[in-house]
């Protein structure tokens, strides 16, 4: 961090990168700069009312419910509305009306469910931060459209040039942890919820501001909850899901609404999934100091277990050969190099291709003296890392307490991986960064999106010369990429 240039001064806001340097303006010129640099992009600020947590189940609604229903009818009604958690809460609250063994069993089950839900808060800090404006954020892979989940579990979808903002709500849409748009589709959004996966089909030509429940598919599997992470195959219609309480990764055929499991012992569950850009490898991190890299052709995996903490973030290089990852309470960014992907070659075990993890950047907290003589602390433990599709910019989000700035590296993949400090991005005074994401469809370099603690969604276009594509685009898709998926659902 000592090699980074000084951060912007008080009253300044980072708006873009030009000529290899980050540019700032005064806060009073921020809106005008956005209109010039990102014309037509939605101006979004999450309102404070939307940042409140989901209302408790014991609300005014209960005053209008009939009290002459049996406990079993009330439990069934709670299951329809809130899932198993609602059922067990009803049985615990009505313990005088049920046998003692059922009351005891319900109390135990409710404790386990609440523990499982609390795992999401520890694994994904933004889910439990009251000041974090959103629970999840996801860009569409092909068009200028994004979705974000609020703390009341509603989801909003914004599209460039469209003033209509669909709001997605469903009775099973509770404790949203992740959002993921389906590639090669304009309208399919998968939502990771407490008890299931909701797959929304949001017609971009529809004028409905509140799509109905008929636009939703519900995918659920016994023992597979809460859902912590989702990952679509880049070229197929298959969806992967994970839960920190389930050691299996579920591979879903959304069209058929069924799944098969990929299970390995150890790790205590799966907290994070990341497909490589060509879809041949999948990172599967666990709540323990262990993660796996699956070969999505042979479905073999390699294990990394000698870690100092759990893997809390990761990203793949655009050429599929480098995996960067960070660990909880560790300021170091590590890399693992793999051989050339075998998308159109004979299948080989990924474990024969990879090397050891090596540190590539030290993000430890350091102090920088500003021009006015004041001391500013930058850096710290990493919460998230994101690599843009060109492989030329890497953004680093720090954990709470150090997230006033977002660090940006200039990166080069050839002949060896190289990370050079570009600068520190600052929001308005008092704002802290909570989410970072690159827009996949941006063409003039890289566009970094930051969700700030104020609720403002900021766009930072990083403009640089893109001399050549890292890899030539394939003219056809090799059969090896699709054959395993047809086989995995064959039995």
In sequence order, the β-bridge partners of residue 319 are: none
Residue 77 banded pLDDT, cuts 50, 70, 90: confident
Cα(1)–Cα(379) distance, integer angstroms = 6
**Segment among 240-249, 337-346, 369-378 with least mean pLDDT:** 337-346
> By the 8 A CB rule, do 179 and 191 touch?
yes
Residue 63 pLDDT exceeds 50: no
Give me 109's structure tokens.
């089950």
Encode pLDDT of 354-398 as tens digits.
668 899 999 999 998 888 888 899 999 999 999 999 999 999 999
> By the 8 A CB rule, do 167 and 187 touch?
no
Cα(276)–Cα(387) distance, integer angstroms = 12
> By the 8 A CB rule, do 241 and 253 touch?
no
> By the 8 A CB rule, do 280 and 301 touch?
no
Please name which of 165, 169, 164 lies closest in space to residue 150, comparing C-alpha atoms: 169
How does the average pLDDT of the chain come out, rounded? 84
Cα(464)–Cα(330) distance, integer angstroms = 31
The single-letter DSSP state of residue 490 is: T
The single-letter DSSP state of residue 28 is: G
Q: 3 exposed, middle or buried (CB, 10 Å; 0-12, 13-18, 19+)?
A: exposed
Neighbours of 236 (CB within 10 A): 19
**Segment among 75-79, 173-177, 407-411, 477-481 with least mean pLDDT:** 477-481
> By the 8 A CB rule, do 369 and 399 touch?
no
Element (H, E) at 369: strand 366-369
Encode pLDDT of 458-476 as tens digits.
999 999 875 544 444 444 3
Q: What sign results for the dihedral spanned by CA atoms 115, 120, 121, 123?
A: positive
Residue 220 pLDDT exceeds 50: yes
> By the 8 A CB rule, do 239 and 197 touch?
yes
DSSP assignment of 245-312 equals TEEEEEEEETTTTEEEEEE-SSSSS--EEEE-TTSSEEEEE-SSS-EEEEETTT--EEEE---SS-EE
CA atoms within 13 A on the CB side of 42: 21
CA 333 centroid distance within chain: 18
Encode pLDDT of 302-333 as tens digits.
999 888 899 999 999 999 999 999 999 899 99
Residue 350 pLDDT exceeds 50: no
Cα(75)–Cα(6) distance, integer angstroms = 59
Encode pLDDT of 89-106 as tens digits.
777 777 777 787 877 887
Please name which of 179, 70, 103 lies closest in space to residue 135, comparing C-alpha atoms: 179
Q: Which pLDDT score, from 0 to 100, does residue 36 have? A: 94
Encode pLDDT of 292-301 as tens digits.
999 998 889 9
Direct distance between the N- and C-terminal alpha carbons of the chain, in angstroms, rounded to an integer: 52
Q: Which pLDDT score, from 0 to 100, does residue 221 have? A: 92
Mean pLDDT of 32-42: 93
Residue 68 banded pLDDT, cuts 50, 70, 90: low
Cβ-proximal residues to 253 (8 Å cutoff; 6+ apart), any chain: 237, 238, 259, 489
Please name which of 328, 231, 211 lies closest in space to residue 277, comparing C-alpha atoms: 231
Cα(106)–Cα(108) distance, integer angstroms = 5
**Which residue ranges make up each domain of the chain?**
60-125
Give me 341's structure tokens.
């992907």
Mean pLDDT of 52-61: 45
In sequence order, the β-bridge partners of residue 93 are: none
Cα(102)–Cα(112) distance, integer angstroms = 15
Mean pLDDT of 257-280: 89
Neighbours of 311 (CB within 10 A): 26
> By the 8 A CB rule, do 195 and 172 touch?
yes
> By the 8 A CB rule, do 382 and 326 touch?
yes
> By the 8 A CB rule, do 470 and 391 touch?
yes
> By the 8 A CB rule, do 258 and 252 touch?
yes
Dihedral of the alpha carbons of 71, 72, 77, 81, in degrees to the nearest 10: 90
Please name which of 432, 426, 414, 421 lies closest in space to residue 129, comparing C-alpha atoms: 432
Q: Which residue has the tokens 């679509």?
A: 232
Cα(132)–Cα(96) distance, integer angstroms = 40
């Amino acid at each position: 961090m000592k090699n980074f240039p000084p951060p912007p001064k008080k009253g300044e806001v980072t708006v873009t990168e030009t000529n290899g340097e980050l540019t700032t303006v005064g806060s009073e010129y921020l809106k005008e700069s956005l209109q010039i640099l990102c014309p037509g992009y939605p101006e979004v600020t999450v309102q404070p009312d939307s940042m409140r947590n989901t209302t408790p189940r014991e609300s005014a609604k209960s005053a209008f419910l009939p009290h002459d229903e049996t406990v079993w009818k009330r439990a069934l009604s709670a299951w329809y509305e809130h899932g198993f958690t609602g059922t067990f809460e009803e049985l615990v609250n009505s313990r005088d009306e049920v046998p003692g063994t059922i009351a005891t069993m319900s109390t135990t089950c409710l404790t386990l469910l609440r523990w499982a839900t609390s795992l999401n808060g520890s694994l994904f800090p933004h889910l439990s931060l009251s000041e974090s404006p959103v629970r999840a954020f996801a860009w569409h892979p092909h068009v200028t459209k994004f979705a974000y989940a609020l703390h009341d579990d509603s989801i909003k979808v914004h599209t460039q040039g469209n003033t209509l903002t669909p709001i997605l709500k469903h009775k099973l849409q509770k404790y949203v942890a992740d959002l993921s748009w389906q590639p090669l589709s304009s309208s399919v959004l998968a939502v990771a919820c407490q008890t299931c996966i909701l797959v929304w089909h949001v017609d971009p030509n529809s004028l409905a501001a509140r799509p109905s429940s008929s636009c939703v598919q519900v995918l659920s599997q016994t023992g597979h909850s809460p859902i912590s992470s989702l990952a679509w195959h880049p070229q197929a219609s298959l969806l992967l899901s994970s839960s920190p309480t389930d050691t299996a990764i579920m591979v879903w055929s959304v069209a058929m609404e069924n799944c098969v499991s990929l299970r390995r012992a150890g790790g205590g569950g799966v907290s994070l999934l990341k497909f490589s850009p060509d879809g041949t490898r999948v990172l599967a991190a666990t709540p323990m100091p262990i993660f796996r890299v699956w070969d999505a052709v042979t479905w073999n995996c390699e294990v990394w277990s000698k870690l100092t903490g759990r893997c809390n973030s990761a990203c793949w290089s655009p050429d599929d050969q480098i995996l960067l990852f960070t660990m909880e309470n560790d300021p170091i960014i590590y890399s693992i190099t793999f051989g050339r992907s075998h998308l159109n070659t004979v299948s080989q075990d990924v474990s024969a291709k990879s090397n050891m993890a090596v540190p590539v950047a030290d993000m430890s907290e350091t102090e920088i003296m500003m021009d006015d003589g004041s001391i500013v602390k930058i850096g710290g433990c990493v919460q998230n890392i994101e690599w843009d599709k060109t492989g030329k910019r890497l953004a680093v989000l720090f954990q709470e307490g150090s997230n006033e700035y977002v660090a940006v590296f200039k990166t080069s993949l050839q002949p060896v991986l190289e990370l050079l400090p570009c600068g520190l991005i600052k929001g308005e005074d008092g704002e802290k960064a909570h989410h970072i994401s690159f827009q996949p469809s941006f063409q003039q370099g890289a566009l970094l999106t930051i969700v700030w603690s104020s609720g403002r969604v900021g766009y930072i276009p990083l403009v640089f010369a893109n001399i050549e594509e890292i890899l030539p685009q394939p003219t056809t898709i090799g059969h090896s990429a699709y054959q395993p998926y047809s086989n995995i659902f064959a039995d």
